[in-house]
Structures are given as structure tokens and as C-alpha cells.
Amino acid sequence: MSAKTLYLCLFIFLSVNLSAQGSDPTYEDKESAKIHFEAAKKLYKNDKYSEALELFMKAYSRYPRPEILYNIGKCYDKLGDYHNAIKFYEQYVLLNPQAEDRKEVEELIKNLKEAVKRPEGVQTVPDIREKRGTNKIIGYSLASAGLLFVALGPVFYMKSDSVYNDVKKEDYNENIRSEKIDEIHFYDNLSVASYITGGVLLGASAYFLYKAYSPASTAVFLPVKNGLFLSFSGEF
């Protein structure tokens, strides 16, 4: 091997090593990514998806871990940008083929692609928020009415009991006694009806409040194990 060839091989070797070392995130990069990531999680949980997306992007630029791509995809998903959501979900699966949640994410990608084909069937985030707001109003209104009816149950019962005790103490003639007995039955029935009505209203209230507060994706909801539940530990 000539000296020229030896020097050329040495140069290539050093260049590759220096390039590889330069591509590794520094400690400062990792710390900066961690700070951005944690801040993004808080914003996401407060429904501030645009701000969270920006910080997830910054975290990934400093420390490109595949899991962050999933979180970026979630932000786009919540913002109704399904095309970008699909793109980042796919990148997450591509760069993290051994992920425990791979099947769930692939199913999520499949459902989003089907939703994109049917835009009229896809709800946007503002639509969902409006529906949730309506469901909250209906839910709390029904709960208030239900509690009112439940509270009236004992009132009617006590009124019935009061008339009953009055009949026992007083010596009424047959007509008045008959009227009093009808009054007792009337309040007894009102008491039962109040309990039943209150129970039905509270049940309906629980349904609407569940619809208002239940976690839902803009297109589908799947239980994914990683995503925003991951934390920077170990090598980070």
C-alpha cells in the first residue's frame, strides 16, 4: 500500500469518526430537550396543542428520539391536521419497529387514513369542544333537576306521614277520613315519583357528563402505551 493510499484511508477514517461524534447529542442538548419535553407535556394536558407541538419539535431537534415523533403526531391529531399526524406516526413506527405499542399505533394510522378519505365524517377539535360544552350544560342541568326531585321525595313522604298521624289522632267522619286517606296516597305517590324521576335525571346527567369529559381523539381513541406517558430516563 502506497503512502498516498494510507494517508487517504486515514483521512476517511478520521472524517467518519469526527462526523459520528459530532452527530451525537451533547449533555446540554439532552437537558434542553428534556426541559422542552416536560413543558410540552403540561401544555398538551391543558389542551394547548399548538404550543405543545412547537416545544415537542424543539425537543426532537435537540435529541431526536422516536417517541417524541409520536407526541408530535398526537398534537397534529388533536389539531385536526390528520395528514401530518399520519406522517409522524409512521415515522415513529419506522424508527421504533420494536415498540410495544406498534400494533396500536398502526391501527391508529389505519383509522386516520380511513377518516381522511371521509372528511365529512371527521370531527374537528372545535366541533368536539363545542359538543363537550353542550354536553356539560345538559349534564349539569339534569343533575340539578335530579337532585331537586330526589330532595322532594322526603318532603312528600313527611307530608304523607303528617296527614296519616292527623287521621289517627282526630275523629273525622267518613267523608273527611276518605279525603284524608286519598291525600295520604297522593303524597305517597308523589314521593315515589320524585325518587324515580330524580334517579332517571341523574342517570341521564351521568351519561352527558361522561360524554363531556371522556378522553377522545379527533378521529379515534386507542389506548397507546407510550406517547405522552413516556419519560426521559435511563440513557437520557
pLDDT, one tens digit per residue, over 138-196 is 989 999 999 999 999 899 989 888 888 888 888 788 888 888 888 889 999 999 999 99
At CA 196, angle to CA 190 and CA 200, rounded to 5? 140
pLDDT at residue 116 in the model: 79
DSSP-based three-state secondary structure for 236: coil
Fold of 27-123+223-229: 1.25.40
Q: How far is CA 131 from CA 145, 194, 209, in A?
A: 21, 30, 11
pLDDT at residue 174 in the model: 84
Q: Are 86 and 113 in contact (CB under 8 A)?
A: yes
pTM score, two decimals?
Answer: 0.47
Closest CA to 211 of 147, 148, 142, 150: 142
Tell me the domain boundaries of the chain. 27-123+223-229, 125-213
pLDDT at residue 25 in the model: 76
User: 132 or 201: whose pLDDT is higher?
Assistant: 201
Q: Are 76 and 54 in contact (CB under 8 A)?
A: no
Q: Is 146 exposed, middle or buried (0-12, 13-18, 19+ CB in 10 A)?
A: buried
pLDDT at residue 227 in the model: 53
Average pLDDT, the chain: 79
What is the CA 141 to chain-centroid distance, rounded?
Answer: 23
pLDDT, one tens digit per residue, over 51-103 is 999 999 999 999 998 889 999 999 998 998 889 999 999 999 999 888 888 88
47: left (phi over 0), alpha (psi -120 to 50) or beta: left
User: What is the rounded radius of gyration, in angstroms, for the C-alpha atoms of the chain?
Assistant: 33
Grid coordinates representing 227 are 406517547
